[in-house]
Amino acid sequence: MALPAATARAAALCRIAACASASSAAAAATGGRRGAEKLPFSLAERGMVVGGHRGMGMNAVGAPPGARIEAVRERENTLLSFGRAAAHAAVAFVEFDVQVTKDGCPIIFHDDFILTQETDAVYAKRVTDLLLEEFLSYGPQKNSHEISKPLLRRTSDGRVVNWSAKDDDSLCTLQEVFERVSPRLGFNIELKFDDDIFYERSQLDRALQAVLQYASNRPVFFSTFHPDAARIMRELQSLYPVLFLTEGGTAQHKDSRRNSLDEAIRVCLEYELHGLVSEVRGVLKNPSAVLRAKESNLALLTYGQLNNVWEAVYIQYLMGVNGVIVDLVEEISNAVADFSKPVLNQSMLGSGVDLVGAKHQAFSQQQLGFLLRLIPELIQQPH
């Protein structure tokens, strides 16, 4: 008896769930010490790499009209968004969020809950409680004859609004992303977990198995806000670098390991991780952490709204930050490409700072003065 079309598609896009039993053995075979892997990008040689946040940038649902982040056209975390990011040569990787459905399939989705509307009521369903077939039924569908469930999103002020994009696309699985996005584009796979839920080790196994099966020669690294998930992924394999995500002291958590850059560096060293990805304000408030990371042989990347301001990215370039994750992908990747040119237009900063021969190993007094004036202003501005 033939499977319904939607069910057949779900089965085809989740071969991982059907063969998960081999995961632990395959992963354990790759175990090892930090240093066995190379970071996925030649960070030292390239100076600074640019990664697209959820592809071409996150969807700022509910943002005020005219907000810069509203310029993102593509639905985040979709094949369309990843494909367009891959078309920009200056973009080294895309960052995206991986969760595992109830039937064991790694999928790409940021929020812990999917919101939808039935009649006049709004319902929220935890993503990890959904079967793959139901997950794929939300939002735009690949086949026009398939019924689409409305996809809503909650804004930062608590409103629930329709979640649409100027250039829309359907939800997707991790397997699809590996199979259909240009292999030259690196993947930063964020292992997504809800703080209030206990997760089984097998969920990390499922995500890892998909990578082992489909990554081939693609540059890949893992990241997560959860120290124990980072530790376990590090223990499971040594093929792919594992980085620790931190808010860098800009927010506080019950787990003290998540509350500062110093703690993040300590976690990396204790668990033999390869680096950290910090909220950019944490780095700008604590620039000495860049030196400590380098002295510890750790890669340092940043994320956050300030990374959509090229002046803030340039400051990080001078500080020696290895990479930035951004929403305004085309604008910032072009700016970073200009940073590495031997001679930069002095009018870029409009402050009299001499940028000729910009590949410095240390700050000039003029540059240092500029940084000291600009950093507090950037940190305080809403973006």
- Look up residue 131 and give its amino acid: L
Which residue reads 């604008």 in tokens? 331
Nearest to residue 17, comparing CAs of 237, 229, 173, 196? 173
Element containing residue 326 per DSSP (H, E): strand 323-326
The token pair at 352 is 């009299």
Tell me if 189 sits within 8 A of 221, measured CB to CB: yes
Give the per-residue pLDDT at 193: 85
Tell me if 264 sits within 8 A of 282, measured CB to CB: no
The token pair at 179 is 């199979």
Which residue reads 């080294």 in tokens? 92
Any idea where the domains of the chain sit in the sequence? 43-111+170-338
Mean pLDDT per 10-residue interval, the chain, length 383 residues: 56 57 45 54 67 96 67 93 96 97 97 92 95 96 88 90 93 98 97 80 92 96 96 95 96 94 97 97 92 94 95 91 96 91 50 38 55 62 52
* Superfamily designation of domain 43-111+170-338: Phosphatidylinositol (PI) phosphodiesterase (3.20.20.190)
Burial of 215 from C-beta contacts in 10 A (0-12 / 13-18 / 19+) = middle
Helices and strands: H and E segment counts in the chain: 15, 14
Provide the angle, in degrees to the nearest 10, between the axes of the packed helices 310-319 and 365-380: 130
As a whole number of angstroms, the distance between CA 352 and CA 167 comes to 41
The token pair at 160 is 């629930």
